[in-house]
């Protein structure tokens, strides 16, 4: 057996001797964790090929690494085109994030506009298990969640980091809203660091926003649903009256009597504190929302890519063990010698088939002819369609700029960002303002 460092030995031994968990405390301290993620790299790879794409990502991340080190931070590792870094000083971490965004302007300057890449950044301050070459625990889990909320060119920080840096008065910070964090009690306030005065603060596009900020207008924002025709053009438009609109085959405000895929009453749209929600009332037929941002997967989620439909499964007890011992999902999978998360293919009747797709690596890609898992006979799936990756305890799903989109099935009621497309029966409805 190869030699192991002391933290790994403690983590493995703790499964059999719970009292050894106390030894982990000697490695626990407060720290700021940063995640960055490059957006636009998939299109770059598609256009210029893998070698040029890898070179571009390397050049970009190398520039970001130098900024981290100038601000007394440390790059822990790279995950695909993402960086995980740590900082002892919260102020330095935010200054580094701002410098990173400004550096991307310089990085993009000599390139054609269509080849520009951008980064989104998330930061969290909290307790973690810190060793020489890695960081474990809740501080990482929350940081990964915070980063998934950010849009390209956006810096999002947690409430705990905001408490550290806001009193300094060195940064312009705005409240984004309250967000659900998987496995955590209650919701958390997240904040944006405004680094570009020319650009106004933008709302997050995450699909798991809970409510807007504490201050919101008593005037309902005006949302409308655009009916998308089969050729992709916009047909009729329908405004939500008094913040409500229902859709069905024979019932509701918007009816499609010739659509056999619709339930009599299929979906209800409503506005709550400035956020549009859709509720599935189809009695099993389903409502799907197209991703326009990163989505944090939860056990039992149903995902649609092209003509493929999958159910996301995870071993909750293994994830709980990983959280309790401060280990990573990858280490836990190596110990169990099996994947603790997978996509299971569903047949047209919605039943689980024998086809399983384990999420055995830090990043798994999906596509018609390019990816970890490929579906060459699916003409509705793009060459590079989507990716699933994990950071901390959580798994995330992102569309890779596919032509027909990646969709997640609504559970009861879910927020819908402006610009997202909703599948209701055989109809496509796009949210606009």
How high is the mean pLDDT of the chain? 85
User: What CA dihedral angle connects 126, 130, 133 and 134, to 10 degrees?
Assistant: -50
The answer to whether residue 369 scores a pLDDT higher than 80 is: yes
The answer to whether the 224-286+412-432 and 289-409 domains have the same CATH topology is: yes
Residue that has been written with the tokens 């080849």 in this structure: 115
The answer to whether residue 202 scores a pLDDT higher than 70 is: no
Read off the pLDDT band of 279 (50, 70, 90).
very high
In the chain, what are the domain boundaries?
Answer: 25-211, 224-286+412-432, 289-409
Q: What is residue 241's DSSP assignment?
A: B
Give the Cα separation of 169 and 121 in Å (integer). 20
Read off the pLDDT band of 207 (50, 70, 90).
very low
For the entire predicted model, the pTM comes to: 0.78
pLDDT, tens only, 245-264: 999 999 999 999 999 999 99
Residue that has been written with the tokens 């990756």 in this structure: 389
Q: Which residues contact 431 (CB under 8 A, 6 or more apart)?
A: 223, 224, 225, 226, 276, 416, 417, 418, 419, 420, 421, 422
Nearest to 85 by CA among 36, 138, 149: 36
Q: Are 24 and 326 in contact (CB under 8 A)?
A: yes
Can you read off the two tokens belonging to residue 433? 């303002």
* Fold annotation for 224-286+412-432: Tumour Suppressor Smad4 (2.60.200)
Read off the pLDDT band of 131 (50, 70, 90).
confident
Mean pLDDT of 156-174: 95
pLDDT, tens only, 26-47: 777 899 999 999 987 777 887 8
The larger pLDDT score, comparing residue 114 to residue 392, is at 114
Give the Cα separation of 147 and 143 in Å (integer). 6
* Fold annotation for 25-211: Alpha-Beta Plaits (3.30.70)
Give me the residues paired with residue 127 across strands: 30
pLDDT value for 182: 58
The larger pLDDT score, comparing residue 212 to residue 188, is at 188
Q: Are 408 and 198 in contact (CB under 8 A)?
A: no
Domain 289-409 has CATH 2.60.200: yes
The answer to whether residue 217 scores a pLDDT higher than 70 is: no
The answer to whether residue 150 scores a pLDDT higher than 80 is: yes
Tell me what percent of the residues of the chain surpass a pLDDT of 70.
85
Q: How many residues does the chain have?
A: 433
The answer to whether residue 12 scores a pLDDT higher than 50 is: yes
Give the Cα separation of 203 and 293 in Å (integer). 12
Nearest to 389 by CA among 371, 375, 403, 407: 371
The answer to whether residue 8 scores a pLDDT higher than 90 is: no
């Amino acid at each position: 057996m190869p030699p192991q460092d002391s933290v790994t030995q403690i983590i493995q031994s703790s499964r059999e001797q719970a009292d050894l968990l106390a030894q982990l405390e000697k490695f626990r301290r407060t720290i700021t964790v940063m995640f960055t993620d490059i957006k636009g790299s998939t299109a770059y790879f598609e256009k210029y090929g893998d070698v040029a794409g890898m070179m571009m990502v390397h050049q970009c991340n190398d520039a970001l690494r130098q900024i981290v080190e100038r601000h007394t931070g440390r790059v822990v590792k790279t995950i695909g085109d993402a960086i995980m870094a740590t900082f002892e000083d919260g102020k330095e971490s935010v200054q580094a994030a701002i410098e990173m965004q400004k550096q991307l302007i310089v990085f993009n300057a000599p390139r054609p506009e269509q080849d520009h890449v951008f980064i989104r950044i998330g930061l969290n301050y909290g307790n973690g298990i810190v060793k020489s070459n890695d960081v474990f625990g809740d501080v990482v889990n929350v940081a990964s969640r915070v980063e998934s909320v950010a849009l390209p060119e956006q810096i999002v920080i947690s409430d705990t980091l905001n408490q550290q840096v806001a009193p300094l008065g060195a940064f312009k910070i705005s409240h984004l809203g309250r967000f659900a964090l998987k496995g955590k009690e209650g919701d958390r306030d997240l904040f944006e660091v405004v680094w570009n005065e020319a650009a106004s603060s933008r709302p997050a596009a995450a699909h798991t926003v809970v409510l807007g900020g504490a201050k919101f207008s008593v005037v309902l924002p005006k949302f409308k649903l655009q009916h998308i025709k089969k050729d992709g053009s916009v047909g009729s438009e329908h405004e939500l009256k008094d913040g409500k609109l229902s859709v069905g085959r024979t019932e509701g405000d918007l009816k499609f009597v010739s659509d056999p895929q619709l339930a009599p009453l299929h979906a209800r749209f409503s506005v709550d504190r400035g956020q549009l929600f859709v509720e599935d009332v189809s009695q099993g037929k389903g409502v799907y929302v197209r991703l326009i941002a990163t989505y944090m997967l939860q056990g039992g989620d149903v995902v649609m890519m092209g003509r493929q439909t999958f159910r996301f499964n995870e071993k909750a007890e293994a994830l709980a063990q990983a959280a309790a011992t401060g280990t990573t999902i990858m280490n836990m999978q190596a110990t169990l010698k099996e994947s603790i998360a997978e996509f299971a293919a569903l047949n047209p009747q919605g039943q689980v088939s024998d086809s399983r797709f384990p999420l055995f690596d830090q990043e798994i890609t999906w596509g018609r002819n390019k990816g970890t898992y490929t579906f060459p006979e699916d003409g509705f799936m793009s060459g590079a369609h989507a990716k699933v990756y994990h950071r901390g305890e959580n798994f995330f799903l992102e569309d890779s700029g596919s032509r027909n989109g990646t969709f997640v099935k609504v559970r009861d009621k879910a927020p819908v960002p402006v610009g997202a497309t909703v599948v209701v029966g055989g109809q496509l409805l796009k949210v606009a303002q």
